[in-house]
Amino acid sequence: MRHVVGSLHRLNRLTISNVFLIDGGPGDRWLVDSGHRLERWLILRELARAGLRPADLTGLLLTHRHSDHAGNARFFQERFGVPVHAHRADARILDGSTPRPPLRAGGTWHPVNHVFAAVENRWPAPTVRIERTLETGDTIGGVEVHHVPGHTEGSAFYRHEGTRSLFSGDMILTARPPLTLRPGLCFAYPGFTSDMAAARASLREFHAAAVPYDNLLAGHGRPLLGRARERVMELLERQRP
């Protein structure tokens, strides 16, 4: 477990996607995303190394429904009783009440896109009961919820006021897809995004509202500490049509 800032921590040794811990002490410990099923044992090991049992978790906040972020949600819920929370639009898909749209490998052609899309469609995140469906303006686990549809229907930002940090899921990344091995600030990747026009509009609308944040904790890549909003605004300006 690596300390990021304040009460925020990043689980070590995960390579598929990031999982973060908001540690407000007993009764106030939250995971942001649950990682991929292939890395479940690493997540459990990192929690144990921090002296935590999964049952110590107060809840799980999902940034979106893809299997690399929601893949262990049902495991934590069924095995340890951890409540799962997600934005309403993705919650309807995660709980099985709305059909799951197939992921299409759009955007710039890359063979990895088609492999990842096929894997996501064949092995999506298992259906899971959502304890509380979230909307913009809700607060939970010390964060504010902001709906930013585009990457998925229910993609969400979680802004942690205490540390002025933004959990951005896959809407803003600090590593470059499709393999996210190279560092670099970028936006939702077309190859795995449901609606790129909606994603761009969501990002511009969120930043036009002047929601303050200093640090960016993305779904892929290392945390960006300091001047994060300024750097994202610069990127938005460069990509303006």
Which of 64 and 107 is assigned the larger pLDDT?
Answer: 64
Q: What is the mean predicted confidence (pLDDT) over 74-96?
A: 98
Residue located via tokens 């449901």: 194
At 106 the pLDDT is 66
- Confidence tier at 241 by pLDDT (50, 70, 90): low
List, in order, residues 6 or more apart from 119 with CB less than 8 Å away: 67
Q: What is the CATH number of the domain that holds 126?
A: 3.60.15.10
- Selection from 16, 8, 19 nearest residue 76 by Cα: 19
Report, as an integer, the average pLDDT of 171-179: 92
Number of domains the chain contains: 1
What is the Cα 15 distance to its own chain's centre? 14
Query: Which structural domain range is residue 95 located in?
Result: 2-238
Q: Which two structure tokens, joined as six digits, stand for 169?
A: 């899921």
- State yes or no: pLDDT of 112 exceeds 90: no
